[in-house]
Amino acid sequence: MRKKFLSLLLATAMLTTVFAGCGEAAGSVSDSSEVSGSVSETAAASSDSSAEQTDTADESLSFPKSDIFKGETDQQTYPLSDEKITLTFWYPQAGSIGTLADYNDSEFFQWMEEKTNIHIEFIVPASGEETQSFNNLFITGDMPDIMYTQPKHQVYRDGMDAAIDDGYIMDLHEHLDWAPNYVSWLNSIPTAKQDVFTDSGKMYGFWSFWDNMENGYADQGLSIRKDFLDKVGMDVPTTYDEWETVLTAFKDQLGIEAPFYTSKYGIDHGEFMAGFGIAPRFYQVDGKVKFGPMEEAYKDYLTLLHDWYNKGLLDPDFATRKSTGVAADNDMMLNDKVGSLIDWGTRMTDAYISRGATNPEFWTVAAPQPKLSADAPDPAWREVDNNYRDIQAVCLLVNANSEHLEAATRWVDCFYAQDVYLNANYGIDSEEGTVWYKADDGHRIGNYDFRYSNPDGLDSATVAAKYWAKNPPIRCEAAQIEQMPPERAASYAVWSKYAPTNYIPVTVTMTSDENAEYTQYYTDIDAYIQENEVKFINGERSLDEYDDYRATLIDMGIEKCIDIRQASLDRYNNR
Amino acid sequence: MSSVSTAKPLKKKFTERLKKDFKNHWQMYLLALPVIAYFFIFNYAPMFGIVMAFEKFQIKKGIFGSRFVGLENFQRFFVSPFFWRLLRNTLLISLYGLLFSFPLPIIFALCLNEVRNKKFKKTVQTISYLPYFISVVVVVSILFDFGKANGLITNIATFFGWDGGAVISSAKWFRTLYIGSNLWQHLGYNSIIFISALAAVDPTLYEAARIDGANRWQQTLHVTLPGIASTIIVLLILRLGQIMGVGYEKIILMYGPSTYETGDVIASYVYRTGILDADYSYSTAVNLFNSLVNMVVLFTANFISRKVNETSIW
């Protein structure tokens, strides 16, 4: 009689064992959900493209010559395949799909299929599960032909080199003859060599570029409600003291619930803190790697936030917000509960109105990164993940074991040809006059009204997903700005006011051993920091203990992490 | 099963007895086959992966090719600054959970058992287990809504003197909210097994007790409770077997940086290191440690129970 419980017991005991081993996707909320939409929306920072072209340096670090400038002439022959083939494409853009059911509903991808005779089966992981979904691709042995990755969040655990050595990812260097359009880009960009090769001289995949960085800009930054500012009779603040005055006025005079909206960690991407001369985590000053929380100025910044929290100037519920990075809770934003935040350019006023903001006066404007005082040094850091020089932190990988290796490589390469990337950025040729129109000199301009007051009543995100490719490998910066009314486009100049010179490029790579040691320490350190920063801000932990806190970080191995980052940055600088 | 154990006098070889038994009862074996296959495929075969805990696992090299490192992964966990906190949080959430959510369904079942109006009893029972069918995601969103700075629970807490702001982002409230919402969700459902055990108590015993002059309370104490005691103990031991098994799903939905201190448990840590950071060896080692502690607790509980009141699960 009792024996029948034995099986139950076994089931119970076993269930608690080794769930880490099986490759099943679990949980619906992940801490790294900042991955989700943000690639799409960040933009170009002008940086001194000083590195000179070193054609003759190392024989292994070279690509064929091309006299075609930036894919102006498409060198692929179409269709890419005589018979219809299907490729699988891992495309973590769940946050950008709008109300479409599948990216094959996109006019651009339909056009692309007709042109290339290649059908794409999109694999779109759920929003917030991108990283774990990517990890699982390697375990399940069911790897798609092409993968769209953000190496900051999605990289093979042992590093980029190892992904190639272990036979998962194709070394593009060996197959550049299939990628003539990409080669033309590499030849057109002076700094490409430093970024596209790994430390051991391999090419991990197709890196993404901006079409033109001459007028580089950021499309993410501080955003403040202009209508609120007008009500309290103030100007856009530029120093921390002015910010405090403005936020206090929002709170006292207008009763705004969250005068300044922060992410759930209380720490932004660095846009706001950079005035203190620091960054949220690792950054560099003249080639020397530093770690924000170890700096004295970081304590000052937390002291300021703690003070603001006590005064009710921060969102009282910040620690429970789902958002880990930019952009506020939609409902709060639309219901006038947020006074200022860090936001994406494409989410400004008109986007909120297309999402249903009902206040007729709703109006946000960009604010520059604040400084300590008017004559203090310029902020030198902001999140420029998607644009360091011309390069974006997006890399398209080809599965080394793909059945259609050549077709997959050529398909990705198409995106580097001008006629394809123009269609991808603005809308396909036949949509001239609706989705885009021609300027007097013949170049394309996106139709702003079509996007933000769509005749079919689609919201702006769905329009983007339906008529062009979200974040194609070549992104036209003009597609973002030029279509906008001048007062919107001006925000990019405001956000780009200071150059993010302290940023560490995402193309810096660690070796497999470094990777293993680094993650061993840093995973715990990162969790510890997130937790304590929230406590320092809301006062659960006193800032008097900051020295103890730093000592704990050292015990946990932060100095080794800094050393590793330093070593990898040095190698990068010597590439 | 019993036929095997009672065939004692002729002590033949096990295989021989099995063969004979199979011949006589092959239909039974056929019926059991899917279950055996299930346990083998989904529970025993994956156990092989435990080997990873003793390796520096690399996906490419696989379980056979990766370098053997002995107890290195375990050492790393034991010296981790989070070790004691994870252990403490896991145990406390479980123990508090056991303390509240184990006896309450029994009491609830006993109370219902005393209700004479059948219609009322059925209604209460149905309502009580309705929350069980609500997804945990929804339950957690409700908690977030009620627990924010001006939410219902925070307002009630503030009325009674709490001044720490949003309860949902306070480490001090994490366990209360976690266990409280669990209780609300599972109380009715968990009481079903006791209600059915109560139904199985022989009515003639109550009759005899009444003739002996026992009142309702005495009947409960001397007839009802002993009648369901074995069910209670077996379920208690099974619960003890899960003492380290706080599920990660609800935790990772609920916790945040501000509540890691009391909310981060071994399971959520394994989730973070294993699933998100792809540190497979280390997370396997941590989880294996968790299961070992679990097993020790289970065996101890079973042993004590067998000694004390001769009820045990094996």
Q: Tell whether B194 is covered by a domain.
A: yes
Q: Which residue blocks in A453-485 are alpha helix, DSSP H?
A: 460-467, 477-481
In 3-state terms, chain A is what percent helix, strand and coil (to 5)?
40, 15, 45
Whether A529 shows a pLDDT value over 60: the answer reads: yes
Residues 6+ apart with CB under 8 A from A371: A238, A239, A240, A275, A377, A378, A379
Q: Tell whether A486 is covered by a domain.
A: no
Give the chain A residue nearest B302 (alpha carbons).
Answer: A9
Q: Tell whether A112 is covered by a domain.
A: yes
Q: Tell whether A16 is covered by a domain.
A: no
Tell me: do B162 and B19 sit in the same domain.
no
User: Of A423, A456, A475, which residue constitutes the final position of a domain?
Assistant: A475
Q: Tell whether B288 is covered by a domain.
A: yes
First to last CA, chain A: 72
Tell me: do A89 and A124 sit in the same domain.
yes
Tell me: do A248 and A347 sit in the same domain.
yes
Tell me: do A227 and A359 sit in the same domain.
yes
Q: Is-contact B195 B128, C-beta < 8 A?
A: no
Give A450-478 pLDDT, tens digit per residue.
Answer: 888 888 888 888 888 999 888 888 888 77
Whether B38 shows a pLDDT value over 60: the answer reads: yes
User: Of B57, B80, B102, which residue constitutes the final position of a domain?
Assistant: B57
Tell me: do B116 and B163 sit in the same domain.
yes
The CATH code of the domain that includes A320 is 3.40.190.10
The CATH code of the domain that includes B241 is 1.10.3720.10
Give B222-242 pLDDT, tens digit per residue.
Answer: 888 888 888 888 888 888 877
Q: Which residue has the higher pLDDT, A205 or A512?
A: A205
Q: How many domains does chain B have?
A: 2
Quote the pLDDT of residue B10.
57
Q: Model confidence at A89, in pLDDT bands (50, 70, 90)?
A: very high
User: Of B13, B34, B57, which residue constitutes the final position of a domain?
Assistant: B57
Quote the pLDDT of residue B289.
92
Quote the pLDDT of residue A454.
86
Tell me: do B44 and B178 sit in the same domain.
no
Tell me: do B53 and B140 sit in the same domain.
no
Tell me: do B6 and B141 sit in the same domain.
no
Q: Tell whether B62 is covered by a domain.
A: no
Q: Which residue has the higher pLDDT, A388 or A241?
A: A241
Average pLDDT over residues B87-108: 90
ipTM of the complex: 0.77
Tell me: do A372 and A435 sit in the same domain.
no
**Structural domain range at position A327:** 220-383+503-574
Give the angle A215-A217-A222 at the CA atoms, nearest 5°: 155
Give A233-272 pLDDT, tens digit per residue.
Answer: 999 999 999 999 999 999 999 999 889 988 777 777 788 8
Quote the pLDDT of residue B161.
87
Q: Tell whether B66 is covered by a domain.
A: no
Best of B42, B59, B261, B292 to disrupt the A interface (most A CBs within 10 Å) is B59
Q: Which residue has the higher pLDDT, A89 or A359?
A: A89
Q: Cα(A210)–Cα(A389) distance, rounded to whole angstroms?
A: 9
Pick from B35, B234, B276: CB nearest A5: B234
The two structure tokens encoding residue B70: 């002995």
Pairing of strands A338-344, A220-225: antiparallel
Quote the pLDDT of residue B149.
82
Average pLDDT over residues A359-375: 89
Best of B5, B169, B244 to disrupt the A interface (most A CBs within 10 Å) is B169
Tell me: do B40 and B81 sit in the same domain.
no
Average pLDDT over residues A427-452: 86
Q: Which residue has the higher pLDDT, B275 or B187?
A: B187
> Is B193 near chain A, with CB under 8 Å?
no
Give the chain A residue nearest B253 (alpha carbons).
Answer: A29
Q: Tell whether A520 is covered by a domain.
A: yes
Tell me: do A394 and A283 sit in the same domain.
no
**Structural domain range at position B165:** 71-309
Q: How many domains does chain A have?
A: 2
Least confident range from A149-163, A422-436, B97-111: namely A149-163
Pick from A9, A139, A527: CB nearest B260: A527
Distance, CA of A212 to chain centre: 19
Tell me: do A163 and A283 sit in the same domain.
no
Average pLDDT score, chain B: 87
Q: Is-contact A470 A208, C-beta < 8 A?
A: no
Largest CA-CA distance found in chain A, in angstroms, rounded: 88
Quote the pLDDT of residue A46.
34
Q: Tell whether B65 is covered by a domain.
A: no
Tell me: do B29 and B82 sit in the same domain.
no
Quote the pLDDT of residue A31.
36
Residues 6+ apart with CB under 8 A from A134: A90, A92, A125, A147, A149, A154
Contact across the interface for B46 and A21, Cβ inside 8 Å? yes
Average pLDDT score, chain A: 82
Quote the pLDDT of residue A179.
94
Q: Tell whether B109 is covered by a domain.
A: yes
Tell me: do B192 and B305 sit in the same domain.
yes
Distance in Å, alpha carbon of A345 to nearest chain B alpha carbon:
28
Tell me: do A207 and A313 sit in the same domain.
no
Least confident range from A34-38, A234-238, A278-282, B229-233: namely A34-38
Give the chain A residue nearest B270 (alpha carbons).
Answer: A20
Tell me: do A208 and A245 sit in the same domain.
no
CB-side neighbour CA atoms (13 Å) of B185: 19
Tell me: do A209 and A224 sit in the same domain.
no
Among left, alpha and beta (phi > 0; psi -120 to 50; other), residue B244 is: alpha
Tell me: do A321 and A245 sit in the same domain.
yes
Closest CA to A184 of A574, A505, A474: A474
Least confident range from A108-112, A259-263, A297-301: namely A259-263
Q: Model confidence at A36, in pLDDT bands (50, 70, 90)?
A: very low
Whether A44 shows a pLDDT value over 50: the answer reads: no
